[in-house]
Amino acid sequence: MNFLHLLSSEAVQHIIIHCLNVSVWRSAEDQPVTQGSVKFKAWSGEVFEVGGELEPEVLEDSCWIKDGRWHQTNFVFHSLDPTLLPVVDIYNLPKTSPGSHYHLEVGPVCFL
């Protein structure tokens, strides 16, 4: 991994959380992102989180919709510091109850 970090000037990774009746980022469309939202640990140990210097870009967030159908929140991590990626851990994943589920789709890192 160190070799890839040394040869690269930036890196990109996508993580999609598919969710059924459970929110992971916002609790409603018109609500701000809260500190209780998911957080992501970088390869370097730093944390991507709401309001932090390393806040992920969110391309889509429809997990707040609780209508019995699957939705998703799509995170993009793009950094000019390639040592931040890949994401190695995810914190604050929601507790599920009967009728609510989620699963993660962790994409590969593209080192540029």
Q: Where are the alpha helices (DSSP H) in the chain?
A: 2-7
Q: What are 56-84's pLDDT values in tens digits?
A: 999 999 999 999 999 999 999 999 999 99
Q: Which two tokens stand for residue 76?
A: 């993009």
Whether pLDDT at 36 is above 90: no
In whole angstroms, give the CA distance from residue 41 to residue 61. 20
With a threshold of 0.75, does the pTM exceed it? yes
Nearest to residue 63, comparing CAs of 14, 25, 104? Answer: 25
Domains of the chain: 2-111 (2.60.120.1000)
User: CA–CA distance from 38 to each of 10, 34, 41, 75, 102 (Å)?
Assistant: 23, 9, 10, 11, 13
